[in-house]
């Protein structure tokens, strides 16, 4: 492609840095992250998020659409790099590399920048550990139409490559805040948003509890559930009825069920 620097050396500094960006510390220090694959880059562009750099390898392309997409990133200001197959395979983190990878600037929303709807509807997650769960939770939040997701005391950061991947592009569109539980609890109180904790130890079912009005659904971590801080701070605790083994529902599944019950109640 025109205007693209070609990289073939696996020792190239850019190649080495792309591999580094899989890890949180260099990712945060550089305030960058990577997203791989046609769909991710396409979703980013459609959401108005332009990659700083695009790395591509025509040999790996699966179809005909990659070149127009890459051209369109270039027109919007991305710097292009064409990689040899071995170089691309080194930087790719997906099993079947599609030959396109973007480097993006990280962003951060503050609590006060959240675009609240008239009757706020938020999802709060505390200390989620697994990137795959956080990605699925982003998809659920998107499908349910929440205003934003607030990640309190995050263990997995939003820009982890597996969060980006498993969110199927939702990361690029969903307002998402990473902050502390303490700040969030104060903010909810100032905003007069009622918070509802989902926990297996609650007395009331999620379907028996009012989930209308200004609402934050609050979900705990995979291993530990919600902290005492959150359980105390929430106005209500709810549980999902479980017919089978105790661990059949993981946190991503419990989030999905609770959000869609809220959607049902709020649409009536």
- The window from 91-99, 123-131, 166-174, 210-218 that contacts a copy of itself (CB under 8 A) reads 166-174
The secondary structure of residue 52, as a DSSP letter, is S
Spatial contact of 45 and 73, defined as CB atoms under 8 Å apart? yes
Q: Among 43, 130, 165, 239, which residue sits at the site for a copy of itself (rule: CB under 8 A)?
A: 43
Alpha carbon distance 143, 180 (integer Å):
25
Of residues 175-234, which lie at the interface with a copy of itself (CB under 8 A)? 207
Q: How many CB atoms lie within 10 A of CB 82?
A: 20
**Per CB under 8 A, 162 contacts a copy of itself:** no
Could you tell me the smallest distance in angstroms from the CB atom of residue 182 to a copy of itself? 29
Alpha-carbon torsion (59, 61, 65, 67), positive or negative: negative
Which one of 24-32, 53-61, 222-230, 255-263 is the stretch in contact with a copy of itself (CB under 8 A)? 255-263
User: By CB under 8 A, which span of 5-13, 22-30, 135-143, 183-191 interacts with a copy of itself?
Assistant: 135-143
| 140 binds a copy of itself per the rule CB under 8 A | yes
CA 124 to chain centre: 13
Alpha carbon distance, N-terminus to C-terminus of the chain: 53
Q: Which ranges of 76-153 would DSSP assign to H, the alpha helix? A: 85-91, 131-144
136 binds a copy of itself (CB under 8 A): yes
For 178, the 3-state DSSP assignment is: strand
In total, the chain counts a number of residues equal to 268
Pick from 29, 77, 52, 43: nearest CA to 174 = 43
Per CB under 8 A, does 119 bind a copy of itself?
no
The residue within the footprint of a copy of itself, chosen from 12, 72, 168, 235 (CB under 8 A), is 168
The minimum distance between CB 85 and a copy of itself, in angstroms, equals 26
Assign 166 to helix, strand or coil.
helix
Residue from 30, 173, 227, 235 binding a copy of itself (CB under 8 A): 173
Options 143, 190, 200, 213; binder of a copy of itself; rule CB under 8 A: 143
Residues contributing to the site for a copy of itself (CB under 8 A) = 43, 136, 139-140, 142-145, 168-170, 173-174, 207, 240-245, 247-250, 253, 256-257, 260-261, 263-264, 267
């Amino acid at each position: 492609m025109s205007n693209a620097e070609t990289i073939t050396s696996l020792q190239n500094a850019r190649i080495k840095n792309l591999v580094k960006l899989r890890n949180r510390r260099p990712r945060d220090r550089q305030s960058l992250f990577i997203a791989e694959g046609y769909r991710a880059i396409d979703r980013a562009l459609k959401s108005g998020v332009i990659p700083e750099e695009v790395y591509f390898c025509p040999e790996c392309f699966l179809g005909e659409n990659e070149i127009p997409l890459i051209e369109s990133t270039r027109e919007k200001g991305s710097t292009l790099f064409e990689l040899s197959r071995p170089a691309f395979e080194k930087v790719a983190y997906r099993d079947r590399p599609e030959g396109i990878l973007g480097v993006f600037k990280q962003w951060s929303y503050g609590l006060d920048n959240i675009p609240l709807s008239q009757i706020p509807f938020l999802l709060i997650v505390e200390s989620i550990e697994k990137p795959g769960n956080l990605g699925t939770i982003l998809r659920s939040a998107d499908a349910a139409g929440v205003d934003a997701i607030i990640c309190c005391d995050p263990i997995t950061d939003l820009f982890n490559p597996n969060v980006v991947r498993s969110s199927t592009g939702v990361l690029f569109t969903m307002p998402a805040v990473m902050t502390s539980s303490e700040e969030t609890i104060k903010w909810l109180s100032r905003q007069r948003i009622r918070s509802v904790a989902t926990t297996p130890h609650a007395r009331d079912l999620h379907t028996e509890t009012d989930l209308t009005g200004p609402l934050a659904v609050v979900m705990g971590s995979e291993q530990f559930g919600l902290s005492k801080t959150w359980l105390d701070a929430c106005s209500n605790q709810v549980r999902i009825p479980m017919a089978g083994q105790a661990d059949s529902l993981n946190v991503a599944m419990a989030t999905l069920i609770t959000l869609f019950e809220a959607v049902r109640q709020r649409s009536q």
